[in-house]
């Protein structure tokens, strides 16, 4: 079973390889054996790879603050917002969510772009919005030139399709 | 709640450009505020010192608890009116702390034309009284005004929200047990006499303070009698004979000392208990707001970056992160107080309007106050959207917002055009407080749209009348409209007309909201329930 969590705001992926007799946690290439000594209250004792550590923990909202020795760790869940945004996007084209006009293009056909690069500025209802690359890739075609109006749903920019084996592996989001 | 992950690049050219632009804008704001607060003609300062009077800000300084903040409202009121003759609309209003109690202050400014009230002075005092009434905050009036500007009487006297409203609000406050104190430093003539007259407590300074319906010149004109101000309505007469005033004071310092002691007798308010956490500063530096706010009203920006620099620990629980994405909704804390935020990240569509309505209902269910961060150019228009019911979905948003029983707060972060202003709790919607940023612009539509619409109307009109249509005529219409819009959509015009409670330096937003939320907790929650949602 694999889990994604935040440790001091960094994304960390953990895998639990065994639960009995001791918990075995795999993080990257390292495997740790962990057993907790039963305790009462905020203080606890935990045995990690044979060494006993004393610590304290406090739960605030959906985060757990763990203090072991002189270091404090903040353990939380990955951001719901980021998870939501990572799904269902990153296809081979940038479509218009609303009718509007292209104000400026910041890329060209054949250009290599990174996810998050600003590709195009559109204006609709007095508001200019920059649209960014949903993934890394190569621009195949710009479908709507600058100062041209487009309808809702129009394809604005398309990417060179990814070859299947190069597709990034789907991220597991745990249970 | 999770910490918002910022994608802001502080080393980008865009950031640097915006940062420089907004720093300059804020320096201009600060300078205008300094002039409005402190710069007065020497002859007026000489006149006051000859009378043994302090400047209103000196009185305020001594009246408030040392070291406590003062949230001043509408410092730049009237900055675009009366040829600039009425800095801050000739009065100071705000929320401060006296003897440990949050109070609303109204101080006349006799360094400006004897403290005479202009129409916008009346509007500003009425707004301060409204804030006191809505938030159940006690009020202290520092009276020193010659009365209304007689030549402008039709703009300050007769209508519902003009001068009479001050005294109506005073009476209502007293009825609801919201205490008021007047410190009479100068003359309170005619209508002005009712301010101390309607206060639950008042103090009058011997020698300079006076209260009367008609001053000595009017008495002479009407009856021929010659009488001094002190005999007619001075300290000893009112505290010993008429009973119009309660406490005599030897001088201004004495009046302030007595005033502070009166406030110290007042019961401490029972605030309603909002969900609270231990306050913590935002994780991201609020100074970076300058690099986020665009230099052009048409440019959009990521509101999560703004939220991350206003809320405690930059922590945010986002509601419906994948639905109606042009409106960001979620829970956060400001100075420890739990709030529900609605922030524009684009135009309002059907889905974002529905999300807004639902989220406001959730906040009401949870007794969580609402904070609106406006950057709205409107609800989406066009056949597709009308067929999908954009009008009725916008109506649901307004219905939920108006029906909310929790306090509402609005910050005008950038654009506020058209009906989006309504849905997002614009001035007409009884938010407890509304602040603007200097870059803010407001209007029924954008200047360019209005110019083109009016040119179109002119064209049709000329054609109908069989007149010649020339480009010169149409351009004239366009230019005139654009010019008027440019003037009237600016934040400075807005604050001049008191369409807000003041312009904030964006980095002060968190502190201003913290004080505003704290103040709002004095009043009980409103009535629960909504009207009919058009489904």
Contact (CB<8Å) A125/B298: no
**B27 in Cβ contact with B303 (< 8 Å):** no
**Matching residue, tokens 């007469």:** B237
Contact (CB<8Å) A123/B298: yes
CA-nearest of B517, B519, B491 to B33 is B491
Q: Is the whole-model pTM more than 0.90?
A: no
| pLDDT of res. A88 | 39
Q: How confident is the model at residue B75 (pLDDT cuts 50, 70, 90)?
A: very high
Contact (CB<8Å) A98/B299: no
Does B367 reach chain A within 8 Å, measured CB to CB?
no
CA-nearest of B30, B96, B32 to B59 is B96
pLDDT in tens, B275-305: 999 999 999 999 999 999 999 999 999 999 9
Task: Give the DSSP H or E segment for B390.
Answer: helix B390-403
The pLDDT of A61-85, averaged and rounded, is: 70
Number of Cβ within 10 Å of residue B264's Cβ equals 11
Contact (CB<8Å) A127/B346: yes
Does B275 reach chain A within 8 Å, measured CB to CB?
no
**Binding-face residues of A in 133-152 toward B, CB within 8 A:** 152
Distance from CA of B426 to the nearest CA of A (A): 19
Does A84 reach chain B within 8 Å, measured CB to CB?
yes
What is the pairing mode between strands B433-436 and B441-443?
unpaired
Contact (CB<8Å) B382/A126: no
Q: Please report residues of A whose CB lies closer than 8 A to that of B419.
A: none
Q: How confident is the model at residue A7 (pLDDT cuts 50, 70, 90)?
A: confident
What is the pairing mode between strands A43-48 and B139-145?
unpaired
In the structure encoding, which two tokens stand for residue B310, read together?
Answer: 């206003």
Does B5 reach chain A within 8 Å, measured CB to CB?
yes
CA-nearest of B370, B316, B321 to B341 is B370
pLDDT in tens, B226-270: 999 999 999 999 999 999 999 999 999 999 999 999 999 999 988
The pLDDT of B65-71, averaged and rounded, is: 96
Check pLDDT > 60 for residue B378.
yes
Strand partners, B199: none
- Rounded to 10 deg, the angle between the B471-488 and B447-464 helix axes is 150
Percent of chain B at pLDDT above 70?
100
Share the mean pLDDT of chain B.
95
Contact (CB<8Å) A116/B378: no
Q: Higher model confidence: residue B1 or residue B173?
A: B173
Residue of B nearest to A6 (CA): B2
Task: Give the DSSP H or E segment for A162.
Answer: none
The Cα B450–Cα B42 span in angstroms is: 45
Radius of gyration of chain A (CA): 24
- Of the candidates B321, B377, B378, the beta carbon closest to that of A80 is on B321
The Cα B327–Cα B314 span in angstroms is: 18
Does A125 reach chain B within 8 Å, measured CB to CB?
yes
Sign of the C-alpha dihedral, residues A24, A26, A27, A33? positive
pLDDT in tens, B32-43: 999 999 999 999
- Least confident span in A63-77, A120-134, B10-24, B42-56: A63-77
- Least confident span in A133-137, B21-25, B415-419, B509-513: A133-137
CA-nearest of A114, A109, A115 to A157 is A109
Q: Please report residues of A whose CB lies closer than 8 A to that of B381.
A: 125
- Of the candidates B4, B322, B381, the beta carbon closest to that of A84 is on B322
Please report which residue ranges of chain A form alpha helices under DSSP H. Answer: 80-86
The Cα B465–Cα B477 span in angstroms is: 17
Please give the sequence-ordered ranges of beta strands (E in DSSP) within A28-126, or none if there are none: 30-37, 43-48, 51-60, 63-68, 71-76, 93-95, 100-105, 112-113, 118-124
In the structure encoding, which two tokens stand for residue B414, read together?
Answer: 């950038």
**Binding-face residues of A in 48-77 toward B, CB within 8 A:** 61-62, 76-77
Helices then strands, counting H and E runs in chain A, come out as 1, 16
Check pLDDT > 70 for residue A133.
yes
Check pLDDT > 80 for residue A165.
no
In the structure encoding, which two tokens stand for residue B157, read together?
Answer: 């006297």
**B71 in Cβ contact with B515 (< 8 Å):** yes
Q: Please report residues of A whose CB lies closer than 8 A to that of B296.
A: 128
Q: Cis ω on the peptide bond leading into residue A21 (within 30° of 0)? A: yes
pLDDT in tens, B348-359: 999 999 999 999
Residue of B nearest to A88 (CA): B322
Please give the sequence-ordered ranges of beta strands (E in DSSP) within B289-361, or none if there are none: 315-319, 327-334, 337-344
CA-nearest of B333, B52, B328, B21 to B186 is B52
Does A118 reach chain B within 8 Å, measured CB to CB?
no
Number of Cβ within 10 Å of residue B243's Cβ equals 8
pLDDT in tens, B96-119: 999 999 999 999 999 999 899 999
| pLDDT of res. B83 | 94
Does B283 reach chain A within 8 Å, measured CB to CB?
no
Does A80 reach chain B within 8 Å, measured CB to CB?
yes
The Cα A76–Cα B413 span in angstroms is: 31
Contact (CB<8Å) B415/A127: yes
Check pLDDT > 60 for residue B86.
yes
pLDDT in tens, B456-515: 898 899 999 988 888 898 899 899 988 888 889 999 999 999 999 999 999 999 999 999
Contact (CB<8Å) B2/A79: yes
Check pLDDT > 70 for residue B128.
yes
* Interface size, chain A vs chain B, as Cβ–Cβ contacts under 8 Å: 63
Contact (CB<8Å) A81/B321: yes
- Of the candidates B7, B300, B304, the beta carbon closest to that of A129 is on B300
Residue of A nearest to B14 (CA): A118
Residues 6+ apart with CB under 8 A from B256: B59, B62, B63, B183
**Binding-face residues of B in 392-431 toward A, CB within 8 A:** 415, 417
Distance from CA of A76 to the nearest CA of B (A): 8
Does A163 reach chain B within 8 Å, measured CB to CB?
no
Check pLDDT > 50 for residue A80.
no
CA B40 to chain centre: 24
The pLDDT of A19-46, averaged and rounded, is: 82
The Cα B370–Cα B372 span in angstroms is: 7
Does B295 reach chain A within 8 Å, measured CB to CB?
no
What 3-state class would DSSP assign to A159?
A: strand
Q: How confident is the model at residue A61 (pLDDT cuts 50, 70, 90)?
A: low
In the structure encoding, which two tokens stand for residue B290, read together?
Answer: 């300058």
């Amino acid at each position: 079973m694999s889990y994604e969590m935040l440790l001091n705001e960094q994304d960390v992926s953990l895998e639990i390889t065994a639960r009995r007799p001791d918990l075995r946690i795999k993080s990257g290439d390292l495997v740790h054996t962990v057993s907790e000594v039963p305790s009462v209250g905020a203080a606890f004792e935990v045995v990690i790879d044979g060494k006993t550590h004393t610590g304290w923990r406090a739960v605030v909202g959906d985060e757990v603050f763990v203090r072991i020795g002189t270091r404090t760790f903040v353990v939380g869940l990955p951001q719901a917002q980021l998870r939501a945004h990572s799904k269902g996007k990153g296809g081979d084209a940038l479509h218009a969510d609303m009718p509007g006009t292209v104000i400026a293009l910041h890329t060209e056909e054949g250009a290599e772009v990174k996810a998050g690069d600003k590709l195009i500025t559109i204006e609709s209802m007095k508001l200019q919005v920059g649209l960014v690359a949903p993934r890394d890739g190569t621009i195949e075609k710009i479908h709507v030139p600058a100062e041209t109006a487009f309808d809702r749903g129009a394809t604005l920019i398309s990417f060179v399709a990814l070859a299947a084996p190069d597709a990034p592996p789907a991220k597991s989001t745990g249970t | 709640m999770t910490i918002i992950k910022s994608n802001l690049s502080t080393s980008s050219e865009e950031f640097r450009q915006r940062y420089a632009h907004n720093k300059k804008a804020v320096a201009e704001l600060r300078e205008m505020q300094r002039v409005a607060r402190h710069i007065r003609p020497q002859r007026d300062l000489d006149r006051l010192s000859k009378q043994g009077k302090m400047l209103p800000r000196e009185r305020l300084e001594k009246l408030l608890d040392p070291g406590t903040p003062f949230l001043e409202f509408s410092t730049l009121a009237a900055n675009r009116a009366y040829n600039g003759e009425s800095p801050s609309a000739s009065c100071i209003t705000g929320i401060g702390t006296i003897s440990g109690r949050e109070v609303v202050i109204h101080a006349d400014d006799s360094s400006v034309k004897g403290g005479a009230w202009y129409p916008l002075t009346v509007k500003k005092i009425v707004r301060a009284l409204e804030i006191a009434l809505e938030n159940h905050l006690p009020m202290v009036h520092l009276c020193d005004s010659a009365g209304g500007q007689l030549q402008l009487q039709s703009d300050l006297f007769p209508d519902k929200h003009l001068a009479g409203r001050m005294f109506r609000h005073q009476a209502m406050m007293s009825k609801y047990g919201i205490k008021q104190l007047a410190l009479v430093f100068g003359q309170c003539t005619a209508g002005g006499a009712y301010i101390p007259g309607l206060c639950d407590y008042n103090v009058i300074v011997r020698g300079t303070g006076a209260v009367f319906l008609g001053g000595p010149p009017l008495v002479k004109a009407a009856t021929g009698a010659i009488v001094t101000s002190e005999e007619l309505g001075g300290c000893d007469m009112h505290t010993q004979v008429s009973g119009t005033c309660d406490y005599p004071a030897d001088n201004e310092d004495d009046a302030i000392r007595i005033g502070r002691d009166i406030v110290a007798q007042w019961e401490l308010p029972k605030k309603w208990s909002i969900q609270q956490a231990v306050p913590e500063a935002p994780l991201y530096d609020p100074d970076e707001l300058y690099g986020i706010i665009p230099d052009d009203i048409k440019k959009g920006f990521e509101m999560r970056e703004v939220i991350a620099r206003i809320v405690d620990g930059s922590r945010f629980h986002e509601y419906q992160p994948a639905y109606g994405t042009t409106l960001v909704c979620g829970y956060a804390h400001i100075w420890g107080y739990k709030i529900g935020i609605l922030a524009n990240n684009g135009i309002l569509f059907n889905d974002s309007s529905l999300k807004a309505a639902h989220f406001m209902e959730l906040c009401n269910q949870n007794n969580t106050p609402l904070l609106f961060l406006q950057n709205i150019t409107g609800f989406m228009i066009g056949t597709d959207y009308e067929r999908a019911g954009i009008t009725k979905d916008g109506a649901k948003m307004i219905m939920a917002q108006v029906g909310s029983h929790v306090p509402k707060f609005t910050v005008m972060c950038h654009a506020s055009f058209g009906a989006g202003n309504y849905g997002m709790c614009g001035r007409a919607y009884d938010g407890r407080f509304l602040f603007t940023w200097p870059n803010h612009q407001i209007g029924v539509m954008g200047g360019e749209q209005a110019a083109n619409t009016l040119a179109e109307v002119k064209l049709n009109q000329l054609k109908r009348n069989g007149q010649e249509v020339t480009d010169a005529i149409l351009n004239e219409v366009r230019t005139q409209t654009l010019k008027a819009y440019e003037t009237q959509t600016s934040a400075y015009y807005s604050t001049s007309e008191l369409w807000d409670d003041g312009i904030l330096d964006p980095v002060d937003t968190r502190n201003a909201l913290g004080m505003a939320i704290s103040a709002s907790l004095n009043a009980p929650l409103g009535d629960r329930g909504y009207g009919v949602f058009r489904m």
